[in-house]
Structure 1
């Protein structure tokens, strides 16, 4: 019995005969695969419109929450499965991204927001790409 989400995704990929890699890899058909992945995510994201309509029509709070949870769960499963196909250590990448997000605070350690509530970059902000690149380069050299 798998113990965590990543193990369950690995079992799912095996069960459905989907690619999986233990090390970062970019296959020759990456362009085609990415187009298919985009199509799948687009279908999922379009379900937001149904949830918006449910909210506009004063659907019950639990029905809206269930629809949203299902949407976010499906997107997370697709993304984690895709990361496994490319051998990307997604949990480690997410840690780097979260560290970068935490670096957006202002000089006093307080969040900065724009008018839409998006986090803005503070003076100590650093982009995550360099650390992600280093992580993947190390993994690809093994």
Structure 2
């Protein structure tokens, strides 16, 4: 049976000796860890310049698509691995964020835009942070 993405990330973290927690955990060296994570993400984001150059140099659309897919995949792997280091149930957090994003729609279920085309929050919008706090508190309490 094929393992889920989350299971494969857990195996990767184990294989490379990276932390993996099943409940929310903030280490003593959180600042250092966050700085290192930021540097890793910055390296990945800087690869966008390489992809832009690839496109500017006339690379095929397929080659550009492969480079973009690799970039996005790497960012997602790094983020999922990082969430596991903190014991954050990322898939559940993403569900809450998507639910919040969907709450931004207008009462008619359609996006609301200002005169500049910026997407505005509808009357039923709710911030995800309180529900994320509840999720993490619940995950911590279940240990």
Pairwise same-fold verdict (TM > 0.5): yes
CA contact (8 A) 1:104 1:124 kept: yes
CA contact (8 A) 1:112 1:121 kept: yes
Please list every run of at least 4 consecutive aligned residues from structure 1 whose deviation after the TM superposition is greater than 4 angstroms: 113-118
Structure 2 portions without partners, runs of 5+: none
Per-residue deviation, residues 44-83 of structure 1 (Å, max 9, x unmatched): 0011111122223332110110000000000000000000
Quote the residue 1:85 is aligned against: 85
Work out the CA distance in 2 between the residues paired with 1:69 and 1:50. 13
Work out the CA distance in 2 between the residues paired with 1:63 and 1:135. 41
Q: Secondary structure at the match of 2:140?
A: helix
Per-residue deviation, residues 61-119 of structure 1 (Å, max 9, x unmatched): 10110000000000000000000000000000000000001011112101234688764
Shift of 1:23: 0.5
Q: Is residue 73 of structure 2 the alignment partner of residue 73 of structure 1?
A: yes
Quote the residue 1:3 is aligned against: 3
Q: Secondary structure at the match of 2:25?
A: coil
CA contact (8 A) 1:22 1:84 kept: yes
| Structure 1 range deviating more: 3-12 or 50-59 | 50-59
Quote the residue 1:138 is aligned against: 138
CA contact (8 A) 1:2 1:8 kept: no
Work out the CA distance in 2 between the residues paired with 1:88 and 1:103. 23
| RMSD, aligned CA | 1.7
Quote the residue 2:52 is aligned against: 52
| Structure 1 range deviating more: 3-12 or 104-113 | 104-113
What is the TM-score of this pair, normalised by structure 2? 0.92
Structure 1 portions without partners, runs of 5+: none
What is the TM-score of this pair, normalised by structure 1? 0.93
